[in-house]
Amino acid sequence: MNDRLLTVQQAAEQLGTGVRFARRLIEERRIEYVKVGRHVRIPERALGAFVAANTVRPALRRLRSVA
């Protein structure tokens, strides 16, 4: 087990969001998490997977021909 487990606060900081948003991701089960007793931890790889899955690539822009 080489994957570091982050607190909700640490995960929110890495995402650049507030704790409330990170907790909502957990509540809606939009991100993988681990229960350690009553504590919730988020694996670092889960953050990477979440960011990768929600990354929007730029569309190729077509140039209009002037007629």
Residue spans of the domains in the chain: they are 5-52
Whole-number average pLDDT of the chain: 92
d(CA 19, CA 53): 20
pLDDT at 67 (0 to 100): 63
Residue 52's pLDDT is 95
Q: What is the DSSP string of 1-55?
A: --PPEE-HHHHHHHHTS-HHHHHHHHHTT-S--EEETTEEEEEHHHHHHHHHHTP
Q: What's the pTM?
A: 0.79
pLDDT lower than 50: segments of the chain: none
Residues 6 or more apart whose Cβ sits within 8 Å of residue 27: none
The residue type of 6 is L
